[in-house]
Amino acid sequence: MKINIIAVGKMSSDFLEPALLEFQKRLKHYCDLNIIEVEAEKLPKNPAAKDIENLQALEGERILKKIAERSYVFALDIKGKPMTSKGFARSLNNLKLRGYSSFTFLIGGATGLSDFVLKEADYRISLSHMTFTHQMVRLILLEQIYRAFKINNNEPYHL
């Protein structure tokens, strides 16, 4: 199974880096993990709605260019469907049974994902009703993907 995470912006948090590396190491046993960073646009000091739309459009074009063909695409979106860890694991397993072997997760930057990127996604998922930095979302997502593999393999991590 191939897992792609396309994220806007670079990791700049020293305290999150060791945890990210740990989950990347753990996931090697279950999947081919690829984290793709696309350039983030600089947000103006007092952005108008149009500034945000333009920024999202530029980042969105970069994101869409990186999505592999025939990959099932999950967009992380605060307005997406919330799932339990077991529900997420079940969804991945069901998609695998339907023939999907490649999954792509999209993480927006400071202003989120553009509407046209969200429309291109196969599914919108919300990790929480709370807002997290895109860097924290990477860690939470990696942990949930790892947890899903453990659940689907009946391994004790999730208990």
Tens-digit pLDDT profile for residues 93-107:
999 999 999 999 999
Whether residue 159 is predicted with pLDDT greater than 80 in this model: the reply is no
Spatial neighbors of 1 by CB under 8 A, at least 6 apart, are: 30, 31, 32, 96, 101, 102, 103
Residue 124's CB: how many other CB atoms inside 10 A? 18
Per the annotation, binding residues for S-adenosyl-L-methionine are: 76, 108, 127-132
CATH number, domain 2-158, options 3.90.25.10, 3.50.50.60, 3.40.1280.10, 3.30.1700.10: 3.40.1280.10
Per the annotation, binding residues are: 76, 108, 127-132
The rounded mean pLDDT for the chain is 94
Whether residue 135 is predicted with pLDDT greater than 90 in this model: the reply is no
Tens-digit pLDDT profile for residues 56-89:
999 999 999 999 999 999 999 999 999 999 999 9
Q: Are strands 32-38 and 72-82 parallel, antiparallel or unpaired?
A: unpaired
Task: Find residue 150's DSSP bridge partners.
Answer: none
Predicted pLDDT of residue 158 = 58
CB-based contact 113:56 (threshold 8 Å): yes
Q: Which residue has the higher pLDDT, 13 or 114?
A: 114
Whether residue 44 is predicted with pLDDT greater than 90 in this model: the reply is no
Q: Report the largest interatomic distance among the alpha carbons of the chain, rounded to a whole angstrom.
A: 50
* pTM (predicted TM-score): 0.94
Whether residue 38 is predicted with pLDDT greater than 90 in this model: the reply is yes
**Dihedral in degrees, nearest 10, Cα atoms 96, 97, 100, 101:** 50
